[in-house]
Structure 1
Amino acid sequence: MGIMHLTRRWRGYPVRPPDSGIARRKSLWERIHIDPWLLGMLLLLMGAGLLVLYSASGQHIDVVIAQGTRFGVALVGMAILAQFSVVTFLRWAPLAYGVGLAMLVAVELFGDVGMGAKRWLVIPGVMRFQPSEMMKLAVPLMVAAYLSRRQLPPRLRDLAVCAVLIALPVVLIATQPDLGTSLLVTSAAVIVIVLAGLSWKLILFAMAMAGAALPVLWMNMHNYQRQRVLTFLNPESDPLGSGWNIMQSTTAIGSGGVWGKGWLDGTQSQLEFLPERHTDFIIAVLGEEFGLVGMLLLLALYVMIVSRGLWLANYAQDTFGRLLAGSIILTFFIYVFVNIGMVSGILPVVGVPLPLVSYGGTSSVTLMAGFGILMSIQAHRRLLPR
């Protein structure tokens, strides 16, 4: 029964939630449009992230306080977005997309340079933020809004328009350069297209075209990006250079064993052998200090968040809400998969943080904004006629 329910929902058939016919009083959570189960799991994930961050940052409490403050801002943003209706997000889609593109152009013209990349805009005395993170929501929002007004499954003309909508920000992000974010923005938008009913023939054709384009992509990569791919294929080829990150991260994870060395007792992280240990490689710190058990518990928490998100997305009652909700939660899953894959050596290093665990402000706010939209889609569902 449950599988039939899901199948009907994602194909666009209306499925009315069970109704006993007896009016009941709304709970506090329903009145404020917040899903308590999802919120509880997100708070638990944030708490675990702050615990690991304290160790990964070299026990600097100011780093933890800064991250906690960002989490607070992100939670407020989530709660605010949950109050708006799905129709509001549909109307906002072109504005969000346009503002995001304008900020990417601003980064290209006078962005702040850090670690060899121009990815940030700085408001003096106020904040420093990464506009490309905003496009992780703005691009799928725009693609979902466009497709929701078209005949589904999408026709070739509509797919061509979607390709342009995706390519404009992705090219600007890739030139910063930021290959990881450009791939994530692309994947978020592609998920929307696939959920819209893209045929398997077109999916296989697109995969073949992507494979054929790999030589062109390789020729246009920066030297450090090519080196990352070569290092992924053979980390031992440059153990003291480009292979250092992967070798140290896998060593840290492996040395944790089943139960780990204990909180604050890791050697690879505390003795600073592990690079980027408070950002992209933070799960290696968790693996070393809490072992296989700690990593499995974290993965279980991620699985529960994704499962709950899919459950909420299942109740979206229009095409736009269904496409956007599915993209938000499945993209969250991709973030987790890519980060763990690159740290464990099964994927190339592309600079993707671990959601709500790695240190970072803009990414946390963007992720929680997505969950706020997801809660809004579920909370503002309309009762379908009998």
Structure 2
Amino acid sequence: MFKREWRNLDKVMLGVTILIVCCSLCIIGSATHINQGVINYDFVVKQGVAFVFNLLIVLFFSRYDYTKLKRFAKPLYGINLIVLLAVMFVGTSALGAQRWIQLGPITIQPSEFSKLIMIICTAALLSDRIGKLNTWRSLLPIALFVGIPFLLVLKQPDLGTSLVFLAIALGMLFISNIKMSLLRNAAIVGIILAPIGWHFLKDYQKSRILVFLDPNADPFGAGYHIIQSKIAIGSGELFGKGLFQGTQSQLNFLPENHTDFIFSVIGEELGFLGCLFILFLYFILIYRGLITAKECKDPFGMLLATGIVSMWAFQILVNVGMTCGIMPVTGIPLPFMSYGVSALTTNMMAMGILMSIYMRQQTMIF
């Protein structure tokens, strides 16, 4: 049985994921090994231990029949709403946002796990509606279904994660053969309503969007992150300054260099070639995910795979884009690369589900 499962396992996807996380541990170590003049690798140890534990999670989900997840969709959706509401009342705050829940020595970010829960729940909802989304009335339940957790996460405030929800929903709606004119009209309505949504954003979120067009308008405030990130990436040139040798990251000019702006550290220390290598690994990951979605004959599995790929692709696009100054700073982590146990666990669980879909398609073929 083990040999059969190993033969059907997507070893390319697993290998690429492990390679990305190994690169992540090296970059996190470089970015955080000096803390107040003292050398320590606490962040690397925490992320490494979480990764080893998450490999067991990948093994579990890859062997788990993904079709059984559909029966848990409604309870998961309810639990998701309860936990997101709990964040508003008992959550802990940091950097002006209330996104975390403290469970003893462990701090979790429910909005990260909410991404995967929404993929499972939305896939279950859409699996019986493929080809039937032709009117506004048919689209309204989907909008309400995604809109409630979207608003709860936006309230934290966490604009980045709430935008990921929209990206996931759009990717899954597209694969559900939604009437394109309906999707186009929905986009037009969204653009029209955008000015209303602007008034609900926090001041720092508005500033991030405004300085996106001209970071030098506030070089020591909202534009500081973008300016320092572009300096770091540009100074790396072709080959980089070398691991542990980056001045922007090592001297703490680059904020959040182990989380949101970890790609800037890659650009500075590993150069343009290092960035290309990481992006190539992501290309393989996304490509394998798309192949899995394409070959899946089960609507629920196809939607699951599409949702996972949409989540990763959007996060990669926005994170890399914001470090290069071509996207607003939204605090979206780079999958498998940015530090964060909640984010890593969510992505590894998603990887396990994706591999489960792939393995069962191979079993059907052989």
State the TM-score, normalized to the length of structure 1: 0.89
Corresponding residue to 2:31 among 43, 50, 56: 56
SS in 2 for 1:98: helix
C-alpha separation in 2, matches of 1:333 and 1:149 = 25
* Offset at residue 314 of structure 1 (A): 2.2
* Offset at residue 140 of structure 1 (A): 2.2
In the TM superposition, structure 1's runs of 4+ consecutive aligned residues that sit over 4 Å from their partners are none
Corresponding residue to 2:86 among 79, 82, 106: 106
C-alpha separation in 2, matches of 1:232 and 1:143 = 32
Sequence identity (%): 38
Match of 1:349 in 2: 329
Match of 2:5 in 1: 30
C-alpha separation in 2, matches of 1:29 and 1:226 = 53
Corresponding residue to 2:99 among 119, 140, 153: 119
1:70·1:365 contact (CA, 8 Å) conserved in 2? yes
* Offset at residue 91 of structure 1 (A): 0.9
* Offset at residue 344 of structure 1 (A): 0.5
1:139·1:165 contact (CA, 8 Å) conserved in 2? no
Q: Which residue type is aligned with residue 18 of structure 2? A: L
C-alpha separation in 2, matches of 1:194 and 1:34 = 28
C-alpha separation in 1, matches of 2:18 and 2:364 = 30
* Offset at residue 155 of structure 1 (A): 3.9
C-alpha separation in 2, matches of 1:159 and 1:78 = 34
C-alpha separation in 2, matches of 1:160 and 1:340 = 33
* Offset at residue 380 of structure 1 (A): 2.0
C-alpha separation in 1, matches of 2:53 and 2:170 = 29
Match of 2:119 in 1: 140
C-alpha separation in 2, matches of 1:328 and 1:174 = 21
2:267·2:275 contact (CA, 8 Å) conserved in 1? yes
List per-residue Cα deviations over 1:228-280 (Å, max 9, x = no partner).
Answer: 01110110011111111000000000001101111111111111111111110
C-alpha separation in 2, matches of 1:210 and 1:29 = 48
Match of 2:347 in 1: 367
C-alpha separation in 1, matches of 2:91 and 2:7 = 38
C-alpha separation in 2, matches of 1:92 and 1:33 = 26
Match of 1:376 in 2: 356
2:208·2:328 contact (CA, 8 Å) conserved in 1? yes
SS in 1 for 2:99: strand
Q: 1:229 to 1:351 in 2, by over 3 A?
A: same
State the TM-score, normalized to the length of structure 2: 0.94
Corresponding residue to 1:212 among 192, 196, 205: 192
Alignment partner of 1:131 is 2:106: no
1:29·1:36 contact (CA, 8 Å) conserved in 2? no
* Offset at residue 70 of structure 1 (A): 1.3
Corresponding residue to 1:74 among 54, 58, 74: 54
Q: Which residue type is aligned with residue 141 of structure 1? A: I
SS in 2 for 1:269: helix
SS in 2 for 1:380: helix
* Offset at residue 27 of structure 1 (A): 6.8
Taking only aligned residues, the RMSD between alpha carbons, in angstroms, comes to 1.7
SS in 1 for 2:248: coil
Q: Which residue type is aligned with residue 300 of structure 1? A: F
List per-residue Cα deviations over 1:268-322 (Å, max 9, x = no partner).
Answer: 1111111111110011111011110100111111101111111222221211111
Match of 1:306 in 2: 286
* Offset at residue 210 of structure 1 (A): 1.2
1:310·1:326 contact (CA, 8 Å) conserved in 2? yes
2:62·2:356 contact (CA, 8 Å) conserved in 1? yes
* Offset at residue 383 of structure 1 (A): 3.3
Q: Which residue type is aligned with residue 121 of structure 2? A: M
Alignment partner of 1:183 is 2:163: yes
* Offset at residue 128 of structure 1 (A): 1.1
Alignment partner of 1:281 is 2:256: no
Structure 1 unaligned residues grouped into runs of 5+: 1-25
Q: 1:33 to 1:170 in 2, by over 3 A?
A: farther
Structure 2 unaligned residues grouped into runs of 5+: 35-39
C-alpha separation in 1, matches of 2:311 and 2:127 = 19
2:132·2:178 contact (CA, 8 Å) conserved in 1? yes
Match of 1:173 in 2: 153
Match of 2:22 in 1: 47
SS in 2 for 1:356: coil
1:77·1:372 contact (CA, 8 Å) conserved in 2? yes
C-alpha separation in 2, matches of 1:151 and 1:225 = 36
Alignment partner of 1:241 is 2:221: yes
What does 1:183-202 correspond to in 2, within 5 Å?
183-202=163-182
Match of 1:230 in 2: 210
Q: Which residue type is aligned with residue 268 of structure 1? A: Q
SS in 2 for 1:383: helix
Q: Which residue type is aligned with residue 148 of structure 1? A: S
Q: Which residue type is aligned with residue 364 of structure 2? A: L
Number of residue pairs aligned between Structure 1 and Structure 2: 359
